Amino acid sequence: MNNRLLKRLRISIAIVVGVLSLLAFVFKFYPLKIFDMQFTAALQSSLVTGVGISVFLFILLIVLTLIFGRIYCSTLCPLGIFQELLMFLFKPVYRYRLYQRSHRSTVTYVCAALLFGSLLGGTAFLMRMVDPYSLAGNALSGAFYGVMFIFCLTLLVFFKKRFFCTNICPVGAVLGFLSRFSLFKIHIDPTKCKACMTCARQCPAACINPKNGKLNNELCLKCFQCLPVCPQGAIYYGTKRENPKPFSLKRRQLLVSGGVALAFFAAFKGGLDLMKKAVVNFKNAVIPAGAGNITDFANKCLNCNLCVQNCPRQIIKKATMETPFVHLDYSDTYCAYDCHRCSEVCPSGAIKHITLAEKQKTKIATAVVDESICVKCGLCARKCPRQIIIKTKGAFPIIRFDQCIGCGACASSCPVKAISMDATEKQTLLS
């Protein structure tokens, strides 16, 4: 394929993904579930469900990487697309700047091992702090953590282009490792290369060393920026037969591999214990229908805020210092009885995909009447969508606790705020 056409095709796909990402968060329009194809979300959903479309999508991402290299980072990752937009804006300052070549640090692998080890061990508590999809969701939803991260990332892109992707991102570390074995790579033909450095100036990953004809495909993001600019046509994307190098496990490589493996298994073992201890203080939080119980949800939620942005009544709130995961807040509104939008959009499996009928029977909380405040107006009984509040003339309303799902419609309608919502320890499906 023509180099310019290949670059344009990649950019076109990235634009479509970027637009869909904005629509999902800003305009609450989610026609194509592009976030189901985010690496960490697909992995998390696969761990939760075990079967189905999420497993297929996760395997597809692995296969795509093994064939084409780190194409995910330049076409499907919202955070990667955002960085590319920043680089377009900063293009005038990049013109004559040559970046020092990137070399992935051992620390990057150790951090990735800790993060994915804890994720596989049972908790997303650490992962959602640095995962590119979680960070993108935080930023697109206007969460403080996401906004501050974007500010720091903008500075990093200005000075170091895609340094986050090549040296910090845990997903990038995994995909970069897989890219070592990809079928298609970018190669430099030493017989044509004149070491003019044009390609190196264009490379956002700083992974090209034309002086010795080397390109680090582990760090290469497959943005194809270098392909059309080479005046000699020395750079190409494809397969190349190389003489296999004899296997040699050096002492340093052995130590690095051992350290990464040790970090992974330590994080895997301690993963679930970490969040179990942290969740003890948040037992009173109410979580969306389909989330199961507070411990599981706090472990699985990536805090991407997609459910927050898509909730029509805005009862789902972003993580706070008091409650470090998304949760329901009945202060100003209630959970609509005829809506299960959060279940439809969650890509990580933290909120299971349930039907509207199942949602209408899922107990997430229980309404409690404070008789010292109640004025016996009976408005709560009239507003209850399940009609399970009994109100007789002159008497306090009686809520059938065994049939209350905790939607909060009664509490929202109460003029004197006499009804509060008590969280359930474990969500159950009522008969």
Average of per-residue pLDDT across 122-145: 91
pLDDT of residue 324: 85
Say if residue 340's pLDDT is above 60. Answer: yes
DSSP code of 419?
A: E
Q: What is the pTM of this model?
A: 0.87
Backbone φ and ψ for 421, nearest 5 degrees, come out as -115, 125
Contacts 24+ apart (CB under 8 A), 134-139: 134/40, 134/302, 134/303, 134/304, 135/79, 136/21, 136/77, 136/78, 136/79, 136/82, 136/304, 137/25, 137/35, 137/302, 137/303, 137/304, 137/305, 137/306, 138/303, 138/304, 138/305, 139/82
Identify the residue with better confidence: 15 or 92.
15
Q: Contact, 208 vs 199, CB < 8 A? A: yes
Q: From CA 397, how far away is CA 378, in angstroms rounded?
A: 7
pLDDT of residue 272: 60
Tell me, which fold does domain 283-429 have in CATH? Alpha-Beta Plaits (3.30.70)
Say if residue 274's pLDDT is above 70. Answer: no
pLDDT of residue 211: 78
Say if residue 259's pLDDT is above 80. Answer: no
DSSP letters along 124-150, please? -TTGGGT-HHHHHHHHHTT-HHHHHHH
Residue spans of the domains in the chain: they are: 3-238, 283-429
Q: Which tens digit of pLDDT belongs to each residue from 369-414? A: 999 999 999 999 999 999 999 999 889 999 999 999 999 999 999 9
377 CA to centre of own chain: 46
Q: From CA 407, how far away is CA 411, in angstroms rounded?
A: 9
Radius of gyration of the chain (CA): 26
Q: Which of 380, 371, 375 is nearest to 414 (CA)?
A: 380
170 CA to centre of own chain: 12
Q: Which tens digit of pLDDT belongs to each residue from 356-376? A: 999 999 999 999 999 999 999
Query: Mean pLDDT in the chain?
Result: 88
Highest average pLDDT, of 32-46, 72-86, 231-245, 285-299, comes from 72-86
pLDDT of residue 431: 80
Q: Which tens digit of pLDDT belongs to each residue from 44-103? A: 999 888 778 889 999 999 999 999 999 999 999 999 999 999 999 998 888 767 667 666
Model confidence at 108, in pLDDT bands (50, 70, 90)? Answer: confident
Q: From CA 57, how far away is CA 260, in angstroms rounded?
A: 26
